[in-house]
Amino acid sequence: MAEHRQDLQRELEGIEAKVIELFAMVAEDLARATDALLSGNNEVVKVLAEREAVIESLYPEIEETVNRNILLQAPVASDLRFLLSVLRIMPELERSHDLVENIARRADHILSDDLSPRARGIVERMGELVSDMWRQASEAWYQRDSSAAALLAERDEEMDELHASLIAELASGSMTLPVAMEMTLVARFYERLGDHAVNVARRVVYLAGSLPPD
């Protein structure tokens, strides 16, 4: 039997595809940025700047499509929850990519040798953790998995601990002041990225609705 509203279905699938694209960009660039920071390779900044331009055009496009469909299609149930959730995670994705870009830029100002081994270790760990959290958030969105929110909240606590350790290390005076100041910012960026990942997972709870009876 034919399903109706195939035009709406296509629109929704189109929006989902673009959202997945955004998730991918954030995840990939996050890995690149951490890498750049630790290896001192600042070529990645140009790549990220180009990506930023793509996101800048994609973001209003997605927003406009969502607005139009909410207005004209009178969506309910899962359609409505999807569209509203997209609107709510767009800012999270956009700001997250900004943060990633900011992290990458610091690679310009810091030579990796400036970092103390301990600081380096923590930053590596933070990078891994945040990348993993974003992978999980992205997966949660794709699978409409509402259980991810609790798990990510726990991992965010780990992130907070790492953040605290890094700040302590920076304050210990084992690095020069300029470097320490830069790294304080970087620490904050990573911590915020973790928060955004948790926020996205929270939005997925509404998106997923109640589990269908099996």
Partner 1 sequence: MEDSEQKVVTNLPRSEVAAAQPAQSDASEAGTEIFGAKKVSCYYGSFRAVTDVSLQIYEHEITAFIGPSGCGKTTVLRTLNRMNDLVSGAHVEGDVEYRGASLYGKDVSAIAVRRRIGMVFQKPNPFPKSIYDNVAYGPRINGERNKGKLNEIVERSLRQAALWDEVKDRLNNSGLGLSGGQAQRLCIARTLAVEPDVVLMDEPCSALDPIATSAIEDLMRDIKQRYTIVIVTHNMQQATRVSDRTAFFSVLRNEESDTRTGVLVEYGRTQQIFEDPHDDRTRAYVTGRMG
Residues 6+ apart with CB under 8 A from 95: 192, 196
The residue within the footprint of partner 1, chosen from 3, 50, 113, 214 (CB under 8 A), is 3
* Contact set for partner 1, span 67-126 (CB under 8 A): 74-81
Total residues contacting partner 1 (rule CB under 8 A)? Answer: 19
Query: According to the binding rule CB under 8 A, does residue 210 interact with partner 1?
Result: yes
- Which of 2, 177 has the CB closer to partner 1? 2
* CB of 201 vs partner 1, minimal distance in Å: 18
Residue 100: Cβ-neighbour burial (10 angstroms; 0-12, 13-18, 19+): buried
DSSP string, 71-112: HHH---HHHHHHHHHHHHHHHHHHHHHHHHHHHHHHHHH--G
3-state secondary structure of 1: coil
Task: Mark residues 156-175: x for contact with partner 1 by CB under 8 A, - for none.
Answer: --------------------
Residues that bind partner 1 in the complex, under the rule CB under 8 A: 1-5, 8-9, 74-81, 209-210, 212-213
